[in-house]
A and B are shown apart, each in its own frame.
Chain A
Amino acid sequence: MTAKVTAKLEVQDLSLKFADKTVLQQVNLCIPEHKITAFIGPSGCGKSSLLRSFNRMNELLEDTETTGRVLLDGQNIYHSAVEVAELRRRVGIVFQKPNPFPHSVYENVAFGLRLQGIKQTRQLDELVESALRKAALWEEVRDRLHDSAVNLSGGQQQRLVIARAIAIEPEVLLLDEPASALDPISTLKIEELMYDLKQHYTLIIVTHNMQQAARVSDYTAFLNMGQLIEFDETNKMFTDPSQRATEDYITGRFG
């Protein structure tokens, strides 16, 4: 089985500093294509930061310094010739905190599509609807597509930003705790969505929910204090981890 897997993303000696604080330290990792990889680890260990380094979002934050390489389909995304906007279109991200634009629900989802130059109303309508359906939000907002998105509930906003990200069909989708504000039914729908998406896309999710990680992911990476402690197939990781720290964390005996 491992022989068939190709790496979509290859992380080589990646380190990241915020001001003078080292947040990621010499991370080496291969993210397999068309699979779901889960990042787990205690709060503040650098999961979000690692996720952001896959589409160069860290450099938009103040005072960051990245060293090392991240290869997307074999190409280093930190090479100076890379068009960052195009990279981010291929590698989409959903942040930990939902950040809908203060526009209508419709315009939020259409935003990325319009950036792509799609202007026809019919085409936009269809794409917006399909993205909202995939994110399990359509039924709730179909009658208020033109209301402001900031009036949606927290969980609805979370699904809206997911819809916004998948509307432009990125090759890799980075989801930072996508279900942290969702009820069990919406969570289940988002998990189903991830399952559907992995047929065509590569997904990475950050989660604090061990059951969720075990349920949806094919691979799991365990991080602690900016270092990658263990990376393996999820089945292996959750039944027979090779590191003591991993076992402690998964079973809840950590720290």
Chain B
Amino acid sequence: MLRNWFRQGTPWIWLNAGAVALSLLLVGGLLAFILLQSIGVFWPGDMSGHIGTKLLQYLANWWQFLSGSSSDGGIFPAILGTVLMVLLMSVLVTPLGVLAAVYLHEYAKEGPLLRVIRVAVHNLAGVPSIVFGVFGLGFFVYFLGGSIDSLFYRDSLPTPTFGAPGLLWVSLTLALLTLPVVIVATEQGLAGIPKNLRLGCFALGATKAEVIWKIVLPQASPAMVTALMLAIARAAGEVAPLVFVGVVKSAPSLPLSSEFPYLQLQQKITSLSMHIYDAGLQSPNAQLAEPLVFASALVLITLIFILNLMAYRLRKRLNSRYRQRAVEE
């Protein structure tokens, strides 16, 4: 009887279903909690008047919160900082990670050295992020930034230009932090390409470079987008390592400029995660700040959701462009 129960896999199904339910409950509960905590923050409870005017005021308050500068209690600099650092990181980490993965998977000779490199890359993913922050400060800010200053910004020394924490170093540190994720995921994408697609391409007289460029990379592009999604989600949430390299609780000005490249790469920035940390723990009036913390958290989640949605759409487009039935070897 009991044996039969096991053989039919009933306990297994219950365990699976239970695990799914628990995960859903936790994630759903988290989202619901944040939503509940923050949804009412800007409701003009003390104002009398028609529900319509109240609603308008409610939206106006939200808008104020989203678009205002920090001195007005707004989080616009934090949103902009998060978006900029994450985008810049993507621009840096994608080509680097993809090139590294292509090299490791397509060109490097299988052997002890390659195994060591692989293990190193995988272990890099497990290095605590704070270590990346310290490294970023020592290597990027002091060494690289210092060298740039002494080469190109000699006039303004001893005031540092790039030799101080700033947006560029934040993005570079994040790129380094997420590099293993991108390499590993891209490599998996490369490994998943059916052998006979490559052979078919070689058979038509393609060189190795042509095979990689015309078949391998397009085929692996959905995997690269997935990798980037993971990287972005991870990067947007980091605070601690970034404090070393250029994220501050309130930036003196926005890292934008009116001239090309429209960015002030050496500017310090603030980010949503930093804002949440700061408002939640460091503000003198934590009680009062708490609702705003939840509102910021909601904005951060929404932002990551939007970025993921964009990546998802892109991946779907790529997938249908290179659609394929499983072609088994």
Contacts and interface: CB of A to CB of B under 8 A. Distances in A.
Do chains A and B interact in one complex?
yes
Interface of A: 55, 57, 60, 85-86, 88-89, 92-93, 95, 97, 99-103, 111-112, 115-116, 148, 150-151, 161, 164-165, 168
B78 to A, nearest CB: 43
Contacts of B207: 85
A12 to B, nearest CB: 24
B205 A168 contact: yes
A85 B324 contact: no
Contacts, number: 70
B200 A101 contact: yes
B323 interface: yes
Given A57-B202, A88-B203, A111-B204, 15 more contacts: A60-B198, A60-B202, A85-B207, A88-B202, A88-B204, A92-B203, A92-B204, A97-B196, A101-B197, A101-B215, A102-B197, A102-B324, A103-B322, A150-B323, A150-B324
A202 to B, nearest CB: 17
Contacts of B205: 85-86, 88-89, 112, 115-116, 168
Interface of B: 194, 196-207, 210, 214-215, 219, 322-325, 327, 329
A102 B323 contact: yes
24 contacts: A55-B203, A57-B202, A85-B202, A85-B210, A88-B202, A88-B204, A89-B204, A89-B205, A92-B204, A93-B203, A95-B199, A95-B203, A97-B329, A99-B196, A101-B215, A102-B197, A102-B219, A102-B322, A103-B322, A115-B205, A115-B214, A116-B205, A150-B324, A168-B205
Nearest to A108: B200
Contacts of A151: 325
Nearest to A112: B204
B327 A150 contact: yes
Contacts of B206: 85, 115
Interface centre among B198, B200, B215 (most CB of A within 10 A): B200
- Give the 7 A-B CB pairs with smallest separation, nearest first: A89-B205, A102-B324, A112-B204, A99-B196, A99-B200, A88-B205, A85-B207
B199 A57 contact: yes
A164 B327 CA distance: 18
A115 B329 CA distance: 24
Contact of A99 (B199, B214, B219, B322): B199
A100 B322 CA distance: 12
Contacts of B196: 95, 97, 99
A51 to B, nearest CB: 11
A186 B201 CA distance: 25
A148 B309 CA distance: 26
A101 B203 contact: no
A99 B197 contact: yes
Contacts of B202: 57, 60, 85, 88
Contacts of B322: 102-103
A161 B204 contact: no
Contacts of A100: 200
Which of B199, B205, B329 neighbours the largest number of chain A CB atoms within 10 Å of its CB?
Answer: B205
Contacts of B201: 101, 111
Contacts of A57: 199, 202-203
A60 B323 contact: no
Contacts of A85: 202, 205-207, 210
Contacts of A60: 198-199, 202
B281 to A, nearest CB: 51
